[in-house]
Amino acid sequence: MRPILMKGHERPLTFLKYNRDGDLLFSCAKDHNPTVWFADNGERLGTYRGHNGAVWCCDVSRDSARLITGSADQTAKLWNVQTGQQLFTFNFDSPARAVDFSVGDKLAVITTDPFMDVTSAIHVKRIAGDPEDQIGESALILKGPQGRINRAVWGPLNRTIISAGEDAVIRIWDSETGKLLKENDPEVGHKKTITSLAKSVDGSHFLTGSLDKSAKLWDTRTLTLIKTYVTERPVNAVAMSPLCDHVVLGGGQDASTVTTTDHRSGKFEAKFYDKILQEEIGGVKGHFGPINALAFNPDGKSFSSGGEDGYVRLHHFDSDYFHIKI
């Protein structure tokens, strides 16, 4: 499987997201310009210009019409995917970190970082069908977690919000009342910052990756631990195959020690694990810096990775990938 190298960002990648049809790939990086690519051949379609800081996260609506991005410039922006036009800007008092559209795209959850005297928060915004009617007020603001909230996503039927971040606790909130419903058992939970969170296609379980060099699979409703995948280096990104029972972990050591390792030494590979047996089944090398972002195409036949090196690598699987036997 030969990767397609997609060079469009001048700074490290932070996030990758496919649209629901799997024909577009959106990438966010620290260079202020979220970019959209054709997901089959890696051709660049365009960039969304307007942010004034690193862009940490993005999400695309079900119909691929709207893009939402969260940035260190203390805003989250709504964009027209097709034209690249800015539709609306949500302003905050601190950097916006994670963004996620609800099922039906009527709501969005946005997390904001702690900054000066401001604590971190989870904001729920109503998304208007017509950008003219869009308002900036939050429908709900949740506070409580210490440190950054690196990920917040919607639970089943938009009834809950699942958040995770620097305090290594996964929390489930009621999205109507803002009440804290559950926290994960600290005995089995992560020991260090949770960097990433990926839901399964049906939303019944989700995967978290952490700097404690592991990834864990959780039941969405009960928040019980199902599986743990152990690796030798901090995990910056996780993804779950929608087709096979595979999970992918990406990571690498701290940026300060990067120059001391050879990119061929395999420190920066995306590692594939069997979801059920928790065993490593293979790796994809190539990045010459830690992997910060991973995403599977919704058809499960390709995946992409984004690294500290500023490249997005797009991999279409060979046919033998689908018949891996352990």
Nearest one of 224, 192, 225 to 209, comparing CA atoms: 192
Mode of pairing for the β-strands spanning 311-316 and 4-7? antiparallel
Mean pLDDT by 10 residues, the chain (326 residues): 94 97 98 97 97 98 98 98 97 98 97 95 96 96 94 97 97 97 96 97 97 97 96 96 96 64 66 96 92 97 96 96 87
Nearest one of 279, 291, 326, 296 to 14, comparing CA atoms: 291
Q: What is the per-residue pLDDT for 275?
A: 97
The answer to whether residues 200 and 158 touch, using CB atoms and an 8 Å cutoff, is no
Distance between CA atoms of residues 145 and 140, nearest Å? 15
Q: What is the per-residue pLDDT for 255?
A: 56
Q: What is the dihedral of CA 142, 144, 147, 149, to 10 degrees?
A: -40
Q: Domain span at residue 98?
A: 3-322
Q: What is the per-residue pLDDT for 264?
A: 52
**DSSP structural state of residue 259:** G
- Angle made by CA atoms 66, 70, 72, in degrees to the nearest 5: 150
Measure CA of the first residue to CA of the last residue in the chain; give whole Å.
20
Q: What is the per-residue pLDDT for 267?
A: 65
- Angle made by CA atoms 311, 315, 256, in degrees to the nearest 5: 35
At which residue do the structure tokens 């994960």 appear? Answer: 184
Nearby residues of 276 by Cβ (< 8 Å), 6 or more positions away = 227, 245
Q: What is the per-residue pLDDT for 1?
A: 85
Q: CATH number for the domain including 121?
A: 2.130.10.10
Q: Which tokens sit at 148?
A: 């950054």
Distance between CA atoms of residues 65 and 130, nearest Å? 12
Count structural domains, the chain: 1
Q: Is 0.85 surpassed by the pTM of this model?
A: yes
Q: Is 60 exposed, middle or buried, given 0-12, 13-18 or 19+ CB atoms closer than 10 A? A: buried
Phi-psi region for residue 203, left (φ > 0), alpha (ψ -120 to 50) or beta?
left
